[in-house]
Amino acid sequence: MTLAAALPVAISCGEPAGIGPEIAAKAWAALRGDVPLFWIGDPTHLPADVPVVTIEDPAQAAAAMPRGLPVLPHRFSAPNTAGIANPANAQGVIDVIARGVDLVRSGQASALCTAPIHKKALKDGAGFAYPGHTEYLQALAGAGRAVMMLASEQLRVVPTTIHIALKDVPQTLTPALLSETIRITAEGLRAQFGIARPRIAVAGLNPHAGEGGAMGHEETDWIAQLVDDMTTEGFDLRGPLPADTMFHATARAGYDVAICMYHDQALIPIKTLDFDRGVNVTLGLPFIRTSPDHGTAFDIAGTGVANPSSMIEALRMAHRMAQGTYRT
């Protein structure tokens, strides 16, 4: 499919005081011959040296790409200062996300790529009631539970539990939660990555996957049985595996995704292997959503030094997923 014929990827602006506007502009410069895209936000929040083409409809994005960053304007309430979140702009950030979802679900955009938000600013300025982007997207879509997958060309990982204290993981990690995470992940890889029968590695919770009960009992009590039961159902699973031997090159060649038990068990290996190009993919939504795997970086916002690699990869991945050409 030609660039002009493909539906564009929508970029929601995220927190305007962060690096989102800068990395979106840099991503356009890198991808303007490859990925049709448009940015939703206030044009005054973009770097002054970025050529901008205002569009009225996403269908105009591809034609605008060679001339500048296509922008679907969404005016915000207050001026923007790089590095300092203004709560008065919180509702604008929230509304842009919702607008992006509407455009994707109505077939005017192929996918949504979200720039980083600042949750405290959204809560302070607009009473944002969600823990983060993913939960808000779930609510907008009327979807059930969604799953966060971090992906790069070298590794895909899914944390079963995410932003909770380590001491709370054993109580939160239940057979129902792990089973649901595996099912959503497998379906996402089939539907959005074209992997007909995903090979899934399941990490243990404890060191050495419990070492037969010497270092913890969750593996012998129920994780191993769950893996066996789901394998009998037809899932291609292996585990529970010791997390300290799952992520070297030879091990990674044996699976398509690693299901991990907690946040750092999943994120440390992928950020070590590919810190700048990891992409956050949300599985379980009725549309494609990616985002760069980093935050707002207020400390460097407005300085021009932000690395756009993760945003570039997030846009490229969203486009390939939408075109049905993503397969590693």
Residue 294 assigned as binding residue: no
Residue 133 assigned as binding residue: yes
- The answer to whether 196 and 190 are in contact (CB under 8 A) is yes
Burial (Cβ within 10 Å: 0-12, 13-18, ≥19) of residue 287: buried
Instruction: Say how far apart CA 249 and CA 231 lie, in whole Å.
Output: 24
Strand order in the sheet with 289-292: 52-54, 69-73, 37-41, 9-12, 111-114, 289-292, 279-283, 147-151, 156-159, 257-260, 199-203, 236-241
Residue 163 assigned as binding residue: yes
- The answer to whether 76 and 14 are in contact (CB under 8 A) is no
SS3 of residue 41 by DSSP: strand
Residue 45 assigned as binding residue: no
Chain centroid to CA 148: 7
What residues form DSSP beta bridges with 9?
A: 37, 111
Residue 280 assigned as binding residue: yes
What letter would DSSP give residue 245? G
Residue 145 assigned as binding residue: no
- Helical H runs in the chain? 20-31, 61-64, 90-105, 119-126, 133-141, 169-172, 175-193, 218, 224-233, 249-252, 263-274, 309-323
**Binding-site annotation: residue ranges for substrate:** 133-134, 271, 280, 289
**Binding-site annotation: residue ranges for a divalent metal cation:** 163, 208, 263
**Binding-site annotation: residue ranges:** 133-134, 163, 208, 263, 271, 280, 289
